[in-house]
Amino acid sequence: MTVHDRRNAHPYWVQSLWALNLAIFIVLFWWFTFTDFAGIESFHPFAYLFVLLFAFSLYLPTRVLFPEPGQAVDLRSYFFETRRVFFRLMLVVAATDVLDTYIKHGIGYAAPEAEWFEAVQGSYAFWVLCLVVGHGYASRSESGLFHAGWALLYLSWVIFWLTTLTPLGNA
């Protein structure tokens, strides 16, 4: 897709919203990674590899979300054609987030004094269940209404984490 083609392409707002969702989630990932590991004197190589794995799992759905440069495609059609791969990769992100949370807070490797996490464990578990159901259904659904609602619900979740819980971290 050339610059001229991109100017004539009509963006699909749901796809753009998922790009925003991922951008905010990536910012949150790095915020919590730096604050949760800030007090650690010895950083185990496994923890380092896990951080890289998590970052890579966040990269993959961003890679699938938009077509390659040079492809002249309808972005709405492209989103629905690639939704299976995109939302299955989002399930990988969710699973990696659960594992990350368990490593940091469940066994207390990175943030043993994060009292704030105890207050949100129930809502976090509920959200993970919503992610499994929502991403799983989104990978199969062709409903524009469902995808719009799911993208907006996910945005509300990342805004909640960004505005409510981030200031409570270890920083």
Q: Categorize the per-residue pLDDT at 82 as very low, low, confident or very high, splitting at 50, 70 and 90.
A: very high
What are 151's two structure tokens? 């993208």
User: What is the torsion angle, in degrees rounded to the nearest 10, for the CA atoms of residue 124, residue 129, residue 131 and residue 135?
Assistant: 180
Look at residue 156 in the predicted model and tell me its pLDDT: 93
Look at residue 4 in the predicted model and tell me its pLDDT: 43
What is the percent of the chain where pLDDT is above 70? 77
Average pLDDT over residues 134-143: 95
CA-CA distance, 141 to 149, in Å (whole number)? 12
| Three-state SS annotation for 102-145 | HHHHHCCCCCCCCHHHHHHHHHHHHHHHHHHHHHHHHHHCCCHH
Look at residue 166 in the predicted model and tell me its pLDDT: 57
Look at residue 138 in the predicted model and tell me its pLDDT: 96
Cα three-residue angle 167-163-21, rounded to 5 degrees: 125
Inform me whether the pLDDT recorded for 91 exceeds 80. yes
Q: Categorize the per-residue pLDDT at 152 as very low, low, confident or very high, splitting at 50, 70 and 90.
A: very high
Q: Are 98 and 92 in contact (CB under 8 A)?
A: no
Average pLDDT over residues 67-78: 85
Inform me whether the pLDDT recorded for 3 exceeds 50. no
- Average pLDDT over the chain, rounded to an integer: 81
pLDDT tens by residue, 12-57: 999 999 999 999 989 888 887 777 667 677 777 777 888 889 999 9
More confident call, 90 vs 166: 90
Look at residue 32 in the predicted model and tell me its pLDDT: 78
